[in-house]
Chain A
Amino acid sequence: MRFLLASARKDLLHIVRDPAGLAVWIGVPLVLLALITSVFGREKITPKGKLLIADQDDSLVSRLFTSAFSQGELAKMIDTEKVDGAEGRRRMDRGDASALLIVPKGLGDAFLARKPFQLQLLKNPSQAILPEMVEEVLSVLTEGAFYLQQATGDELTLFQARPTDAAIAEASLRFRKLGDAVRSLMDPMLIDVRTKLPPQQPVKRTPLGAMMLPGMLMLAMLFTAQGMCAEIWREKMNGTLRRIAMAPEAVSQWLLGKVLAAVIMLVLLNSITLLGGAFALNASYARPIGTLCWSVFSGAMIYLAIAALQFYSSSDRASATFTNLLILPLALAGGSMAPLESLPASIARIGRMTPNGAAVDQMRHLIEGDADPWRLLTVAAALLALGAVGFALSMLALRRGFAAEH
């Protein structure tokens, strides 16, 4: 046991003492993270959304109403664009905007006649925050409008001639302020906002970038495992492994020390990656500790499998080539380059059967909080078996004189 700890310490010191190497270890997940962020966006940090407005009424009231979105603080977060109804729906279907506000014909008349009226808001289901914001603003506006309607509706009719832009702006600002002041008193409301979600699309709250996170984490772990496994051949070539094999303490502890060092590195690197994912990709974790533990466990088992490959390669070059050749297709099929959902069904099916793909799949479920305990246990047992076989094969190679071979 003491030798096991000494071995792990030695491996960790070796990594820490080589700053360039350490930078690569930490850099791989960060670079992958940055890559995904730049491709899939970082919704949370620059939440500039697009609000499409289809103003079919085109009256003074509707213009006053909709211009509230292009003023003050709101204008920094939301771009508004006038569209006609059909185009607005098309663009929402493509996911081009955060929300579409439809103001049907007759708002102005209804408002002035103090009759109930409905607006329609279509929200983009793949965005979390901006559509909510638009909805919130709308509710404040409608409350303000209601008050105004009650208090000054008669005077408003005077505005039916063409007002100046400045007058519109000023009036809409008043709308908002009034609304804020009296919103708690509002009940019932005459203008009602009906929020609509496209019915055919299920609600997916995970941002796209965050969906990539488990696969990306696995890719980083595969790189880490491969890099740490290269040490096996290095130790064989420089003679330290031979020296260990001639010492009384068991060589198995040397190998387990490497596994322990890998586990410690994975705890460190995966924590960084998961935290980075939360910040950069707006990922939220239903089970943060469970996710970390699972990632480290699956990474360690995959490390043991990759380690076994090293012991059965004929040279250090061969082991590196062999490992690369294996890792790339595994990463591809196992959802590390693109989420499993987005792969062709046949490849995704194979991908879910690869150790890394199965681990990624379960990691996704842990992150989203909908993991099936039995399925999780089954995959854990399979990974454990893989690690155990890897360890047994490695020990067999060591017993058969791996250290001494030319």
Chain B
Amino acid sequence: MLEIHDLRKAYGDFIAVQNLTLRASGGEVFGLLGPNGAGKTTTIHCIGGLLTPTSGHIRVNGHDVVSEGRKARASLGVAPQEIALYEELSAKENLEYWGAAQGLSSAELRQRIPEVLEHVGLLDRAKDPVKNFSGGMKRRMNFACGIVHHPKVLLLDEPTAGVDPQSRVRLLDLVRAQARAGACVLYTTHYMEEAESLCDRLAIVDHGKLIAQGTLTELRAMLGERDLVRLTGVFPSPPAPDGIEVLQHSEDSLTLSVAQAAMRLPEIFAAIARAGGEVRGATVTQPSLESLFIKLTGKELRE
């Protein structure tokens, strides 16, 4: 339902997205995971027809977003990264406006608006101006305006940015409900846990490049059964005992990929001491998307 083939978007000399290919179908949540500046929003804007790709093709529900822009956009629902709402207008008025932008008739809107408000839990606040809403409520409203017209393809750009944990759980449930109802959801985030709990399939991007893609299980397998060991202290040179992979090394931090790390910590500490280093802190993490990201890029996802 959503096909991206070899997408590339450059702003002058700067390449924001390159060689991105992915395919997502109805009923699934496809995650686009990457740190700030990875090119997630740029990708969403290319799908939405807001930006013209430098090269490559995007099809939404079978329609090319450049040559059949209007048809492609008709199947699309978007919840932008920012709260793109009219704050002085009430929840109902916002839905009326964004519904009209999707070409819905007044009759359709009359029937649909209470449904959507009920769905996102804002029915009792229908007449309140959005500016009086809490951050979490605004996020739900931002989401509601993206689904008012039952889109086949839903683009959610960091829909949980800046909300409290409770609202986040609620929003994630709303996203799952969309996929269950048959929508194809493209979900961008820089939160690993969200991607892990929500997404059927994932693409991990960094600096505009696709670095891994697959189901959660496939991605985990790329790590092997290895734990992530993160050390702080003084490290003049990286130690390399057998079977230990150095993912990242600097004067004061060291990240290692180790099978059965807990059993091998004494051996690692000893090796560091021999090399003239000193360990001040250590954390061991089970295999996760986070460790995969660090393994693939040598840096933390959230910096």
Chain A residues proximal to chain B, CB less than 8 Å:
2-3, 6-7, 9-10, 13-14, 17-18, 238-240, 242-249, 401, 403-404
B147 at the interface (CB under 8 A from A): no
The chain B residue with its CB closest to the CB of A400 is B52
Chain B residues proximal to chain A, CB less than 8 Å:
45, 48-52, 70-71, 73-74, 76, 78, 80-86, 88-89, 93, 96-98, 100-103, 105-106, 129, 145
B48 to chain A: which residues have CB within 8 Å? 245-246
In the assembled complex, the Cα of A14 lies from the Cα of B88 at a distance in Å of 6
Contact B105 A2 (CB under 8 A): yes
A240 to chain B: which residues have CB within 8 Å? 84-86
Contact A248 B78 (CB under 8 A): no
Q: Min CB distance, A401 to chain B, in Å?
A: 6
Q: Min CB distance, A162 to chain B, in Å?
A: 80
Contact A243 B80 (CB under 8 A): yes
Contact A239 B49 (CB under 8 A): no
Which secondary structure dominates chain A's binding surface?
Answer: helix
A246 to chain B: which residues have CB within 8 Å? 45, 48-50, 73, 76, 78, 80
Known A-B contacts A401-B50, A403-B50; A243 and B96 likewise in contact (beta carbons under 8 Å):
no
Q: Min CB distance, B72 to chain A, in Å?
A: 9
Pick from A17, A238, A243, A245: contact of B129, CB under 8 Å: A17
In the assembled complex, the Cα of A148 lies from the Cα of B52 at a distance in Å of 97
Known A-B contacts A401-B51, A404-B51; A6 and B88 likewise in contact (beta carbons under 8 Å):
no
A-B contact pairs, 24 of them (CB 8 A): A2-B106, A6-B96, A9-B97, A10-B89, A13-B88, A18-B88, A239-B80, A239-B81, A239-B83, A239-B84, A240-B84, A242-B50, A243-B80, A245-B50, A246-B80, A247-B98, A247-B101, A248-B74, A248-B101, A248-B103, A401-B50, A401-B52, A403-B50, A404-B51
The chain A residue with its CB closest to the CB of B71 is A248
Known A-B contacts A14-B89, A17-B89, A401-B50; A243 and B105 likewise in contact (beta carbons under 8 Å):
no
In the assembled complex, the Cα of A270 lies from the Cα of B203 at a distance in Å of 57
Q: Min CB distance, A400 to chain B, in Å?
A: 9
A404 to chain B: which residues have CB within 8 Å? 45, 50-51
Contact B76 A14 (CB under 8 A): no
B106 to chain A: which residues have CB within 8 Å? 2
Contact A244 B88 (CB under 8 A): no
